[in-house]
Structures are given as structure tokens and as C-alpha cells.
Amino acid sequence: MALSREQIAMRVAQEFSDGNYVNLGIGIPTLAANYVPEGISVMMHSENGLLGMGPYPTEDQVDPDMINAGKETVTAITGASIFESAQSFAMIRGGHVDITVLGAFEVDVKGNIASWMIPGKLVKGMGGAMDLVAGAQNIIVTMTHANKNGESKLLKACTLPLTGVNCITRIITDLAVLEVKDNAFWLKERAPGVSVEEIRSKTEGELIVEGDVPEMQFN
């Protein structure tokens, strides 16, 4: 069965290693903060200028000067640091953030990503997404495998305006975990109960399946 948003977030969190600095985009990626495996410490980077983002505040902790990149009220953990925007993006562009997780409309076999603009719809902007995909060491895209009409979002070539080129190496969808290399999607894991055939039918770009593909494990 296809994973829920929470299950995708749980699977994302399994990618974290002890000591990682992590930037989580809005939506499913943000939920991954709730599922950091026990015994592992990660520090969350928020691109408006906070390293060591904590949970949402309680009512009496709310501070208008303390927000995250989604403009939500937030707290800082012990040992956090706060800095200006050029410094924040130096951390990103300079490759100092270990893992970035973000959503997308489309990804293709070259590792190109489209996530910010749908022609004909109002364009609000890319925010920090272009900097993040150009800079992070390890970028994970989370999205549903297909759109509401059942059409694949894992394509031969992106059709929408790009956010970045040749930058995506790992995708976690509601159906599968895939790697992107050599102009193909490599199937690494299946969601529990989802067949290789179903994944293949919803993957437009070339899909490479090696041997028996394991199911994702959730504790």
C-alpha cells in the first residue's frame, strides 16, 4: 500500500546519521523532524538564519522575533546559533549542510528537479529552493510517485521550469526509494505491499531493478 505522509517522513528520517546538519523543506520534509531515530542527534538548519531549530513554542514561549523559514513561530535548542541570511546561505551553498530534504513537482533521470513554477499559475517565487539544490551535499526529494491523475512525476525529462540541474540523487515517494544515476532511476526499496510492476507502471523514466527489491522497514 502507498505510504501516508507520515510514513514517507518516517522513511526520510532513516536517512539521517548521527551528527548531521539537516535542512527540511516545507510539507512532508518538515514532518521528518518528528521521527529522528533514537540515539541519533541531528541539528536542523532553517534558512532564515537559525541552526539548531527546536519544536514549536508553547503559548507562553511565542516570540515574534523567533520564526522558521516557513514564517512559523519556533524555538531554538540549547547550543543553537543565529545569523544573517548571507551566512545562512554560505552554509548551504558552501556544502556545509549534510542533508537537504525538499518536495518537488517533477524529477527526471538526469537528476533535474522542478519544484517552484507552473506556467499559467501565479508564480510566488523560489525562496531558497534553488540555493538548496545547488549547494547541499546530499539532496533527498520527497513526493508522491504519480500525480492525482495517475501520471508519473519521475520523468525522462522534466516538463516544468527547473529549480536545479543534475542535483538530485535520492527520491523517497509513497511507493519507493530510488537512486538517480546514469540517466535512470534505480529502485532500492518498495513500500510494503507495493509491487515492482506497480512502481514500473508509474515511473516514466527508465527504471532499473536489480534482483529482489526489499520492502521498506518500519519499526
Partner 1 sequence: MAGFNKVVSSYEEAMQGLADNMTILAGGFGLCGIPEGLIAQIKKMGTKGLTIVSNNCGVDGFGLGILLEDRQIKKMISSYVGENALFEKQLIAGELEVELTPQGTLAERMRAGGAGIPGFYTATGYGTPVAEGKEVKEFNGRNYILEEGIVGDFAIVKAWKADTFGNCIYKDTSMNFNPLAATAGKITVVEVEEIVEPGQLKPSEIQTQGIYVDRVIKGTFEKRIERRVTREA
Residue whose CB is less far from partner 1, 37 or 161: 161
DSSP 95-162: T---EEEEE-SEEETTS-EE-S--TTSPP---TTHHHHHHH-SEEEEEE-SB-TTS-BSEESS--SPP
58 is a contact residue toward partner 1 (CB under 8 A): yes
CA distance 16 to 42: 7
Residue 210 annotated among the catalytic residues of the structure: no
Task: State in angstroms the smallest separation of the CB of 139 from partner 1.
Answer: 13
The three cell numbers of residue 140 are: 533527498
What 8-state DSSP symbol labels residue 175? S
Smallest gap, in angstroms, from Cβ of residue 75 to partner 1?
9
What does the DSSP 8-state code read for residue 37?
Answer: P
Residue 25 is a binding residue for partner 1 (CB under 8 A): no
Segment interacting with partner 1, rule: CB under 8 A, options 11-19, 32-40, 44-52, 184-192: 44-52
Binder among 2, 43, 82, 196 for partner 1 (CB under 8 A) = 82
Number of residues that bind partner 1 (CB under 8 A): 54
Piece of 10-18, 46-54, 179-187, 201-209 that binds partner 1 (CB under 8 A): 46-54
Q: Which of 164, 160, 144 is nearest to 27 (CA)?
A: 144
116-155 residues near partner 1, rule: CB under 8 A: 117, 122-131, 134-135
As annotated, the active-site residues are 47
Interface contacts to partner 1, rule CB under 8 A: 46-50, 55-68, 70-74, 76, 82-86, 88-89, 92-93, 112, 117, 122-131, 134-135, 161-166
